Amino acid sequence: MGRSEAVTEPLAPMKEQVYKDPRPKEHFDRFHHRSRTKPPNAMYELVRTCTSLYAWTFFRARGIDSAKVPATGPVIIAPNHFSFMDHFFTGAFTRRRVRFMAKSQLFNPPLQFVYTHGGVFPVRRGHRDEEAFENAHTILENSGCIVMYCEGGRSRTGALSDSAKPGIGRLALESGATIVPCAIVGSSHVRNWKKGQFPTVAVKYGDALRWPKIDAASRDQQQAVADEIFERIKALYYPLAESR
């Protein structure tokens, strides 16, 4: 599979996206509070075990160069994003407890209990959500590990997005955390499991990057860093995709 992203099987359709959460900011305060004050508990290991077994068994997932993820200190892992499983593929090959933002529409009973106790925190869709960034900063200040996607939401086409969103550049500059670019190949077809099709998935981690900390980075500075991270992801992704 080359840069044209030609596929042998059509992608199963995705549900229509809801791009704005109508619930007020205050609805999510308890989730933000927990993510800042309490680490993931045993729920994380339970979910990681189940999703990793699923990934390894059905998608023959393999990790490449996972040792490039630092074992300690604040880290942002930056993968491409095709599937809801990308969080779990990313975390399956490192013993770090990987935490991530999830769209706020997922925070409904009963699964919101799993998310919050597993270390997931919401980003309120359709709004400038400073609370989500504050959560990320708090986790990184406590030497945690976060997954954040350069492209923002999932690609609906099975191809990498044309450009990066500036959010990851902002977090990289404001936190000074180590960034590990990451390519996930094959996950664009994960939703085809409903057709009985289980693609093979590979996850490759790249060399760590770091920028000097800037407390008030400009939008252009944020975008430039996001673009550089995304270029590193592409440099990992295309050779891996073409070798399959």
pLDDT in tens, 57-111: 999 999 999 999 999 999 999 999 999 999 999 999 999 999 999 999 999 999 9
Please, what is the average pLDDT of the chain?
Answer: 92
Residue with token string 């999510």: 28
Residue % of the chain over a pLDDT of 90: 81
pLDDT at 9 over 80: no
3-state helix, strand, coil in the chain (%, to 5): 40, 15, 45
Domain ranges of the chain: 25-242
> What's the rounded Cα separation, in Å, for the pair 217 and 173?
7
pTM of the model: 0.91
Residues 175-217 have pLDDT tens digits of 999 999 999 999 998 988 878 889 999 999 999 999 999 989 9
- Please give the CATH architecture assigned to the domain spanning 25-242: 3-Layer(aba) Sandwich (3.40)
- DSSP per residue, 132-190: HHHHHHHHHHTT-EEE--TTSS--SSSS--SS--THHHHHHHHH--EEEEEEEESGGGG
CB 103 within 8 A of CB 123: yes
Residue 6: burial class (beta carbons within 10 Å; 0-12, 13-18, 19+):
exposed
Q: Which amino acid is at 64?
A: I
Closest of 140, 118, 122 to residue 130, by C-alpha: 122
